[in-house]
Amino acid sequence: MSNSFSITNLQEYLPADDILSQCIHCGLCLAVCPTYDLTKLERSSPRGRIKMIRNVAEGMGGVSELFIDEMNFCLDCQACETACPAGVKYGKLVESARVIITENNSGFSFAEKFKRLILNKVLAEPNRLHLYSKILRIYQQSYFRYIFEESGILKLFSKRLAGILKLSPEISVKFSSDEIEKITLPGGEVKYSTAFHTGCIMDTAFAGINIDTLTVLKGYGCKIFTPGDQVCCGSLHAHNGEIKKAKELAIKNIEIFENEDYEFLVSNSAGCGAFMKEYGDLLKDDCNYSQRSQIFSSKVRDVTEFLFDKKPLSEFKNINLQATYHDACHLVHSQKIFNEPRELLSSIPGLEIIELEESTRCCGSAGIYNVIRYDDSMKILEDKIANIARTQTNTVITGNPGCILQITAGAEKFNTQLEVLHPVSVLKRAMGG
């Protein structure tokens, strides 16, 4: 591969100069950046990457291999945004840089091509996703899996590949989209009119959490609209430079959810909810969807955000559980939701939450980062598991599927006994489920 790549339509994707100039180089982001902590290199920090992006914008550097590596090394956890006194929207900057890489790089490796195939031809197409998920489920339930994975044979050939396969989600026996009706009514009074986004991975690999979410919403008196033809939110595409596909998926969801009147659109995935709240910004220049996307985004709520100040139709039961809480990056840093899940969980009798050291620090999942940059991800995960171990609890609660997979895999990798639960599953247990 050559040292740099030609730039086409550069200004279409680069942030405006005033956005690039916001960084005051104070260095407060360094202490919270996981990748800077790994390398101690300035270029691996948010302000270092901003300087690289600005150099490209000003024609002082091309889209080099180093530029590509650093933009992909970033977790896009956005902890730096929380720490930044100047309000720099770093996530937008690094995602714009990844769009530039996608649009100007014709020399993708096989791994990159495969990643983009999965993003654009599987996750973005519900029918294909369901088909391939069923095939994966057959493999997971077969003797072949035992031969290749559980027996340890695969480790003899590639410990890294064996580790990556441990991150694969267990496909649900039934997909939530096959189980959930278009309209779900509570057993009693209708107090709130809501919609529900089932997601892609949540639908096929975390169907139980989706069902738990509907059960809890019903217990709070919600009428729930769940369109069967909804699609992936597009967050993984936007975070990996596939902005055109992300916009296409956003438009499909806007059109589909417009078919019903509702007050709130509930998401139980931190990454999905964060991105759907950004539809208004994503499509702000589209004359057909600018206003419609803003209306859509204004209704999106994380499930803990929606529930924390509302009362269930019946009292919670005592669940006698001690747990710790891990903040998903796209919940705490992107959506600025910190107190809501804690307040909600603290209302459950018998649930004791032990505060986790560095609870807002990334676990290393970061969408598909843990697959693409497995070794870096595991270094970050090791610190997270060590902090969890110090709480002396066996249960971790977190609101994002990637975090659930990552921490579960980390518990096995680092020999720690952990149960990892979504907040709605804990709530369902407290409601007698």
* pLDDT: which is higher, 150 or 75: 75
Whether the pLDDT of residue 158 is over 70: the answer is yes
pLDDT digits (tens, 9 = 90+) for 399-422: 999 999 999 999 999 999 999 999
Count the neighbouring beta carbons within 10 Å of the beta carbon of residue 172.
21
Position 409 in a domain:
yes
Whether the pLDDT of residue 106 is over 60: the answer is no
Position 276 in a domain:
no
Position 212 in a domain:
no
Whether the pLDDT of residue 127 is over 60: the answer is yes
Mean pLDDT (the chain) is: 92
Note whether 206 and 169 are within 8 A (CB): yes
Note whether 308 and 423 are within 8 A (CB): no
pLDDT digits (tens, 9 = 90+) for 209-267: 999 999 999 999 999 999 999 999 999 999 999 999 999 999 999 999 999 999 999 99
Q: What is the CATH number of the domain that holds 379?
A: 3.40.50.1860
DSSP assignment of 69-134 equals: HHHHH-----HHHHH-TT---HHHHHHHHHHHHHHH-----HHHHHHHHHIIIIIT-HHHHHHHHH
DSSP assignment of 172-239 equals: PSS-HHHHS-SEE--SS---EEEEE---SHHHHH-HHHHHHHHHHHHHTTEEEE--TT----SHHHHH
Position 110 in a domain:
no
Whether the pLDDT of residue 176 is over 90: the answer is yes
CB hemisphere CA count around 95 (13 angstroms): 19
Q: Indicate the pLDDT class of residue 12, thresholds 50, 70 and 90.
A: low
Q: How many domains does the chain have?
A: 2
Vertex 231 angle, CA 228 and 232, to 5°? 140
Position 294 in a domain:
no
Position 270 in a domain:
no
Position 370 in a domain:
yes
Task: Please compute the mean of the pLDDT values over residues 171-176 and round it to a whole number.
Answer: 96
Phi and psi torsions of 277, nearest 5°: -70, -15
Structure confidence at residue 123 (pLDDT): 94
- 395 DSSP β-pair partners: 419
Position 207 in a domain:
no
Structure confidence at residue 18 (pLDDT): 64
Q: What is the CATH number of the domain that holds 98?
A: 1.10.1060.10
The residue among 85, 104, 123 that closes a domain is 104
Structure confidence at residue 1 (pLDDT): 38
Spatial neighbors of 264 by CB under 8 A, at least 6 apart, are 192, 193, 194, 195, 299, 300, 301, 306
Structure confidence at residue 13 (pLDDT): 63
pTM of the model: 0.93
Whether the pLDDT of residue 384 is over 90: the answer is yes
Phi and psi torsions of 63, nearest 5°: -80, 80
The residue among 72, 104, 136 that closes a domain is 104
Identify each DSSP E strand in 335-393 by its residue range: 351-354
Q: Indicate the pLDDT class of residue 427, thresholds 50, 70 and 90.
A: very high
Q: Which domain holds residue 17?
A: 10-104
- Dig out the tokens for 339 from the structure: 């107190």
d(CA 96, CA 91): 8
The residue among 76, 104, 132 that closes a domain is 104
DSSP state of 302: E
pLDDT > 90: what percent of the chain? 79
Whether the pLDDT of residue 2 is over 50: the answer is no
- Dig out the tokens for 382 from the structure: 């090791």
